[in-house]
Amino acid sequence: QFVESDDDEELLFNIPFTGNVKLKGVIVMGEDDSTHPAEMRLFKNIPHMSFDDTAREPDQTFSLNQDPTGELEYPTKIARFSNVYHLSIHFPKNFGAETTKIFYIGLKGEWTEAHRHEVTICNYEASANPADHKLEQITPQTHFIS
């Protein structure tokens, strides 16, 4: 089984993670012919990315070699991919065919649980309103020493 592009050689994968990932490497397997992708561009933390968004600068770009057995691993810049919750992989071109075929994409890294904070509703006072802070009347007592 494989994924094949529709009209041209471009493919775009959006991969959401259930936690935070430190991405260390990517493996791409394609056919041993001109349908194998020739370039891979990685974008991190851009949910719902579309082909229009691929014009921006990627976080990392790879020139791919034909690898039908999945033996090549492309290492990422770990400092740049240390806190990924969504990964987009764009394959802009192949080795000359009309369409691109991909049989396998492998991601290597470390997963950690996401620390998602719930919404907290707070009210803050810019300045105190004395009417809001009523206290029981305190009668001051003074003691004189003679």
How large is the average pLDDT for residues 116-144? Answer: 66
Q: How far is CA 65 from the centre of its chain?
A: 25
Label residues 24-63 b or e (16+ Cβ within 10 Å = b): bebebbbbeebbbbbebbbbbeeeebeeeebeeebbbebe
Position 140 pLDDT exceeds 70: no
**Residues 10-49: tens digit of each pLDDT:** 999 999 999 999 999 999 999 999 999 999 999 999 999 9
**Residues 72-105: tens digit of each pLDDT:** 999 999 999 999 999 999 999 999 999 999 999 9
Where exactly are the structural domains of the chain?
A: 3-113
Amino acid identity of residue 65, one-letter, is: N
| Position with higher pLDDT, 136 vs 79 | 79
| CA–CA distance, 87 with 26 (Å, rounded to integer) | 11
pTM of the model: 0.77
Number of H helices, E strands in the chain: 0, 8
Task: Specify the CATH number of the domain 3-113.
Answer: 2.60.120.470
